[in-house]
Amino acid sequence: MVRIIGIDPGLLHTGWAVIEKNGNNRKYVASGVVLPPKMESLPNRLAFIFREVSKLCETFQPDECSIEITFVNKNPQTTLVLGHARAAAIVAVADKNIPIFEYEPNKIKKALTSAGHADKEQVYKMVRILLPAAQPKTPDESDAIAIALAHANMSKFGL
């Protein structure tokens, strides 16, 4: 059995999900969203993400982490800030000596829906089909579950 934490990084909403993989079986454990205080400075929001992801790792003791690779937005500043949030989550996981696997958004979508350009609704529907116990309340939470599931599916092929 392998416990996987999936992370969908964001400065306003960092989605997270924990699943277990046992052979071809997948089991939903928990999921949610880290919500840094919007009125705080950038460094304080990044520290908040770091602390909360650290707590998640301590609570759920994952064996592996799967995280989405930042895509380049039209606005370079947005991409840079998203990269900061992603780095805060990565450092929190790496600090716990948990192996980290990174995937592009289109590979995650393709692993779940067979379409690399699937929309969020298609991803949500597949999450619900593959893990009926999961009840994601936000797109960030749904994406984090999808990231964990994609890793569970792709890791057996060494991708």
Active-site residue set: 8, 68, 140
Count of residues making up the chain: 159
Rounded to 5 degrees, what angle do the CA atoms 87, 88, 89 make? 90
Residues 6+ apart with CB under 8 A from 108: 68, 143, 146, 147, 150
Tell me how far apart the alpha carbons of residues 17 and 26 are, in angstroms, rounded to a whole number.
13
Asked if 33 and 138 count as a contact pair (C-beta separation under 8 A), the reply is yes
| Strand partners of residue 32 | 16
Q: CA 148 to CA 61: how far, in whole Å?
A: 14
* C-alpha distances in Å from residue 125, one per residue of 16, 24, 68, 155: 18, 20, 19, 22
